[in-house]
Structure 1
Amino acid sequence: MAGTIICYGDSNTYGYDPCTLMGDQYPEQNRWTGILESETKWKIENHGICGRCIPHTGSQIRFACEQLKDWQDKDAPVWMWIMLGTNDLLQEQQFTAKDTAQRMETFLKKLMAEPAVSSGKITLYLIAPARMEYGAWVDEERQYQESRQLGEEYKKVAERLGIGFTDAGKWDIPVVYDGVHFSEKGHHIFAQNIQEEITWLK
């Protein structure tokens, strides 16, 4: 193994399949995390949780910081990929891309102050989520338009903090009827694009 990548995200990291009765995961071979596990030398750990927003309350941030202590001892090097923000735009009334980016920057600064990150044991990497499309979950122009601004706002955050960044919003990821969740094809396209952009993966 080359090392460990902690994929810290929401339902599109989890691999949620909204077309099943119980909302199960897509098969591992059709989730972008599973595809990377099979196609690279990295150990890919899926830490996606459905409905997760960017941690912003005291308890949410403390829990994430506690998790760092467990992750720092995994097969080195250890990366923490963070792809969140979609649920913030969906759940927070009138939230903008700038609001979401400010919340993300606050969270990242808290993580960077933790010994696991400040010592270099864990390296943070920010991924702007794929754009939302109009669908069953996306019926406001604000949600549609702000999701298209998120990549640029996150890029500014990554530059200010000096961390790596990828904008998945540029990849035209196919989503299902709800306008939010990746289709199986979308997971494969995501995995392909991230391997092309993050060249050290292989």
Structure 2
Amino acid sequence: MKTVMCYGDSNTFGYDPTNGMRYPRAIRWTGVLQKLLGENYLVISEGCNGRTTIYDDPLEGWKNGLDYLKPCLNSHKPLDWVVMMLGSNDLKTCFHASAEAIAKGASILVDTIQTFTAEKQGFVPKILLLSPPEIGPAISESPFRFAFDESAITRSKAFAPAFQKIAEAQKCYYLNVANVATASTWDSLHLTPEAHQSLAEAVAQKIRCIDAKESDEEEGKHEY
């Protein structure tokens, strides 16, 4: 059985923008991913509302994604996959962060995953870096407008090239979530059930294709 850890923020936690609660497991993209991948995979959901890449939230400092990463990796080892989607909360006005700076924060997490797992579990898991969905056009009317200004819209549109560059530099896999999922009209930030479904489908396809290719290559080595 292969173990897949999904490390992210409220969209991995499964925040429901219509009521501020949590979607049922069967709706969350991590829960859908488990169903799609089947019994040969174990999907671990590690989502936390408000989690950043490397920034300390001035009100809730415990949401720094770097601080929790090593304990999390160590708790769930051995890991075959780490799927990471962080960066949306880094767009908060208080951080004054560009898309490039946010991607740099994600690169620090990728490097931490690679070096820490090499030491603690003896091999590096495959890493799938997801560039977060774009901020919706009505963020100024969102319940979260106190934290995000309209510049977050433009900066989020620059996520895809910035994150792809990081993935290529650090030799991990990449998926542009904006191509498969959009933020809800409720708050311009969190995903709808339909977006959770489409995101899960895209991640599942990526994981299955990569693992199948790797399996075929291994079989080819033993052919005479």
> TM-score, normalization: structure 2?
0.77
2:15 aligned partner, one-letter code? Y
Structure 1 distance, partners of 2:201, 2:190, is 17
In the alignment, structure 1 residue 45 sits paired with structure 2 residue 48: no
Residue deviations 1:21-65 (CA, integer Å, cap 9, x gap): xx22111111111111112122111100000001356x8535311
- 1:133–1:117: structure 2 CA closer, same or farther, 3 Å change rule? farther
Gaps of 5+ in 1: none
> TM-score, normalization: structure 1?
0.85
Deviation at 1:127, TM superposition (A): 0.8
Structure 1 distance, partners of 2:103, 2:164, is 9
Structure 2 distance, partners of 1:111, 1:195, is 21
In the alignment, structure 1 residue 63 sits paired with structure 2 residue 68: yes
Deviation at 1:125, TM superposition (A): 2.0
In the alignment, structure 1 residue 122 sits paired with structure 2 residue 131: no
For the 8 Å contact 1:56–1:107, the answer to whether it is kept is no
What is the match of residue 186 of structure 2? 177
For the 8 Å contact 2:5–2:83, the answer to whether it is kept is yes
Structure 1 distance, partners of 2:99, 2:72, is 27
Question: Who wins on radius of gyration, i.e. which is larger?
Answer: 2
- 1:92–1:108: structure 2 CA closer, same or farther, 3 Å change rule? farther
Q: For 1:1-202, what aligned pairs fall within 5 Å after superposition?
A: 2-20=1-19, 23-41=20-38, 42-56=41-55, 60=64, 61-73=66-78, 78-116=80-118, 119-135=122-138, 136=142, 137=144, 140-200=149-209
- 1:94–1:172: structure 2 CA closer, same or farther, 3 Å change rule? same
SS at match of 1:33: helix
Residue deviations 1:94-151 (CA, integer Å, cap 9, x gap): 3210110111112222332214478325332211111111231366342101111101
- 1:36–1:117: structure 2 CA closer, same or farther, 3 Å change rule? farther
Percent sequence identity over aligned pairs: 24
The two structures, once aligned, show a CA RMSD in angstroms of 2.5
Aligned residues: 196
What is the match of residue 219 of structure 2? none
- 1:56–1:65: structure 2 CA closer, same or farther, 3 Å change rule? farther
Structure 2 distance, partners of 1:144, 1:67, is 31
